[in-house]
Amino acid sequence: MAQEEEVLGKAYDSRLMRRLLTWLRPRWVGRLVPIDQAIDFHKVVGHTLFALSLAHAGTFVFAYLDGHAAAAPWQLLGTARGGTGAALVGIFVVIWVCSLGFIRRSKRFELFYFTHLLYVACTRARDHLLVTSVTPASEFLDDLNV
C-alpha cells in the first residue's frame, strides 16, 4: 500500500512539474533561466545556491557578532551552528571550484563527480558526523521530525 502511494505521488509530482514548466516557458522566467537545457539550468542553480549560501553565512556571522559584541569572530566556529555552517560552506566551496569549466573539461572530471558525492555523503551520514551530532539537536531538525 505504501509503495503504491509513493508511485502515485511521484506520478502526480511529474505532472505538476510538467505543468509548471509549460506555464513558465513563455514568461520572463522562461526567457531568463534556461529551463529546457539541463546542464545550463544546473549551472545557474549551482551558482545561485553558492551565492545565496555565502550571503546566508555572511549575514549569520554579522548577526552573531552583533549579538555577541565581546566575542571574537573565530569563537563562532566553536558553536554547533557555526561549526556545521562553516563545514557546509567549506564543502560547498570545494564543490563549486571543482564544478568550474576548467576542471570539468580537463582530465580531472572525477573531481567534479566525487565532490558532488561528498555533499550527498555528508547529508546521508549527518547523524554520525562529529560536527553535526551535537546535543541538544537543532530545533529546526526536531520540527521536521528527521
Q: Is there a domain that residue 46 lies in?
A: yes
Whether residue 13 is found in the same domain as residue 66: no
- Asked if 7 and 73 sit in the same domain, the reply is no
Residues 20 and 50 in one domain: no
pLDDT single digits (tens) 59-105: 988 888 888 778 777 787 777 778 878 888 888 899 899 888 888 88
Q: Is residue 118 part of a domain?
A: yes
Residue 128: pLDDT band (50, 70, 90) is low
Residue 142 inside a domain? The answer is: no
Q: How many residues comprise the chain? A: 146
In a domain, 120, yes or no: yes
The answer to whether residues 21 and 63 belong to one domain is: no
d(CA 99, CA 14): 28
Residue type, 84: T
Domain that holds residue 2: 1-33
User: Percent of the chain having pLDDT more than 90?
Assistant: 9
Q: Do both 14 and 45 map to the same domain?
A: no
- Confirm if 123 and 87 have CB atoms less than 8 A apart: no
pTM: 0.65
Same domain, 24 and 73: no
Burial class (CB in 10 A: 0-12, 13-18, 19+), 97: middle
* Grid cell listed for 1: 500500500
Closest CA to 80 of 143, 146, 129: 129
Same domain, 85 and 28: no
On whether both 74 and 50 belong to a single domain, the answer is yes
Looking at residues 116-140, what average pLDDT do you find? 63
- Conformational region of residue 100, where left means phi above 0, alpha means psi within -120 to 50, and beta covers everything else: beta
Q: Please check whether residues 28 and 44 belong to one and the same domain.
A: no
Q: Regarding predicted confidence, which is higher, 36 or 68?
A: 36
Q: Is 106 in the same domain as 44? A: yes
Residues 26 and 76 in one domain: no
| 63 lies in some domain | yes
The total of structural domains in the chain comes to 2
Same domain, 89 and 51: yes
